[in-house]
Amino acid sequence: MDILSLGSGGREHALAWKMAVSPLTDKLYCAPGNAGIAREAECVTLDLADHKAVIAFAKDRKIDLVVVGPEVPLCAGIVDDLEAAGIKAFGPTKWAARLEGSKGFTKDLCKANNMPTAAYERFKGASAAKEYVRKKGAPIVVKTDGLAAGKGVVVAETVQEAESAIDMMFGGGLGAPAWEIVIEECLVGEEASFFALCDGETAIQLASAQDHKRVGDGDSGPNTGGMGAYSPAPIMTEQMNRRVMDEIIHPTVHALKRAGAPYKGVLFAGLMITKDGPKLIEYNVRFGDPECQVLMLRLMSDLVPALLAARDGQLKNFDLRWYPDAALTVVMAAKGYPGHYNKGSIIEGLGAAAQIEGAEIFHAGTKADGSRIVANGGRVLNVCARGKTVREAQSRAYAAVDLIRWPDGFCRRDIGWRAIERE
């Protein structure tokens, strides 16, 4: 079959790498892709916001399945539009994608279905929100309702900080003024990323992972899209995984089905493992980036039939097999990220780095410039490795990092520290 993958990050490189080896894949396209994806797929220039253009390309090339990586096109309804045009697409509908697109929607769904999450209130105006913050005290968490590219959450240590976050969000500090915000209890515990594949009715557990959101070593500095990840997350024991499926994932899938908008695609639960058990921090309606990269390295089964089964409502009795090995990825980013950074610097040594045992390099923001690879974004490379333990995967990944010559780049040096402390 011919597949079109949408996106251009490290997540999409990992997905393309995995789909390209499927015996089911005849031809793989990726739009817009990047310099690494171009090794696995034919990259095509398409504007993902232009659904008509995507549909026209898919029809012209007789695409059998479109796989949507990022949340923005999902929340804009690209799956609805492709399916309406008779093209199979993997991912949730616009309605179901509100699990990521609207914090208020998800919080209300949790409340209505008794799913464990932080206590909260929704607000349409600043004065009531501030009054609530003053009543509850700090620490407290302030979130804008819609998509905000990872910048829509402020964990406020003081009431004053929470009040200025409220003013910032309603005042348009994140672009358009927030139309609604959610204020919630600050949860204490260890975070984990949990993934399930859903077909509208059945959900099967994928693997767990842990991300590193802060830019600096020791979890310091501002939040980013994610500076590194590993899988599995040791805190996610069998029993904890079962609780997440029973208390969070299954109730969500059943509630959306009852509401007449079945959820198909990857459901990514951002969890806080508290002393009372797992609590949902947020949902994402796609694979995580960089979590996807470590999941794909650990997935033994063919990915393509799994995506098709999810799209076709056939996950019942479906089984996926995983390598027992750990996988770890270190994100190399352009100096300045997540703030201002430059594009266009030359990256060398990728070939030698890929020779390290167990290593795999996925590209995120890269571009080919003749035979050279140049940086073309904030998060630029995912240097990954498998190993028997997280420690072994980590030492292989950093051995590969150390062979990459890119003076304009940087990475965290402590990815995996929590797991290694446990090992």
Binding residues for ligand GLY (CB under 6 A): 211, 225-226, 284, 288-289, 291
Q: Which is nearer to ligand AMP, 210 or 376 (CB)?
A: 210
The smaller minimum CB distance to ligand AMP, of residues 184 and 247, is found at: 184
- Spatial distance between the Cα atoms of 51 and 94, rounded to a whole number of angstroms: 13
CA distance 93 to 91: 7
Residues 6+ apart with CB under 8 A from 17: 40, 296, 360, 362
The DSSP symbol for 26 reads S
118 binding partner (options ligand AMP, ligand GLY, none; Cβ < 5 to 8 Å by kind): ligand AMP
Decide: 38 and 316 in contact? Cβ < 8 Å: no
Segment 108-147, which members bind ligand AMP (CB under 6 A)? 118, 141
- Among ligand GLY, ligand AMP, none, what does residue 186 contact (CB within 5–8 Å per kind)? ligand AMP
Q: Which two tokens stand for residue 45?
A: 């220039």
Question: Which of these segments, 38-46, 105-113, 148-156, 345-353, binds ligand AMP (CB under 6 A)?
Answer: 148-156
Does 180 help bind ligand AMP (rule: CB under 6 A)? no
**Least distance between ligand GLY and beta carbon 213 (Å):** 7
Binding site partner of 153, from ligand GLY, ligand AMP, none, Cβ cut-off 5-8 A by kind = ligand AMP
Selected from 46, 181, 187, 375, the binder of ligand AMP by CB under 6 A is 187
Which of 83, 121, 191, 217 binds ligand AMP (CB under 6 A)? It is 191
Within 245-304, which residues bind ligand AMP (CB under 6 A)? 270, 281-282
Query: 17 — phi, psi (to 5°)?
Result: -60, -40
Residues 6+ apart with CB under 8 A from 40: 13, 16, 17, 19, 20, 28, 30
Give min distance, CB of 385 to ligand AMP, in A: 24
Task: Look at residue 216 and give its three-state secondary structure.
Answer: strand
Q: How far is the CB of 65 from ligand AMP (least distance, A)?
A: 29
Supply the DSSP string of 224-278, one letter for each residue: -S-SEEEES-TT--HHHHHHHIIIIIHHHHHHHHHTT---EEEEEEEEEEETTEE
Shortest spacing between CB 184 and ligand AMP, in angstroms: 5
Is residue 327 helix, strand or coil?
A: strand
Residue 278 bridge partners (DSSP): 273
Nearest distance, CB of residue 150 and ligand AMP, angstroms: 6
58 vs 118 by CB, closer to ligand AMP: 118
Nearer to ligand GLY, 75 or 373 (CB): 75
Query: Would you say 230 and 398 are in contact if contact means Cβ atoms under 8 Å apart?
Result: no
- Which is nearer to ligand GLY, 223 or 301 (by Cβ)? 223
For the chain, what is the total number of helices (H) and then of strands (E)? 15, 23
Residue 191 contacts which entry, ligand GLY, ligand AMP, none (Cβ below 5-8 A, type-dependent): ligand AMP
Cis ω for the linkage preceding 262 (within 30 of 0)? no
- Rounded Cα distance between 263 and 312, Å, is 12
**Any idea how long the chain is?**
423
Which region among 185-193, 260-268, 320-328, 390-398 touches ligand AMP (by CB under 6 A)? 185-193
Report the residue number, 271 or 361, with the smaller CB distance to ligand AMP: 271
Q: Which of 106, 74, 109 is nearest to 93 (CA)?
A: 74
In the region spanning residues 319 to 378, those forming contacts with ligand AMP, defined by CB under 6 A, are none
Which is nearer to ligand GLY, 211 or 325 (by Cβ)? 211
**Is residue 305 part of the contact set for ligand AMP (CB under 6 A)?**
no
The entry of ligand AMP, ligand GLY, none that residue 289 binds, CB within 5 to 8 Å by partner kind:
ligand GLY
Lay out the sheet containing 2-7: strands in order across: 42-43, 27-32, 2-7, 65-68, 89-90
Residue 288's binding partner among ligand AMP, ligand GLY, none (Cβ under 5 to 8 angstroms by kind) is: ligand GLY
Which residues make up the interface to ligand AMP (CB under 6 A)?
Answer: 118, 141, 150, 153, 155, 184, 186-187, 191, 213, 270, 281-282
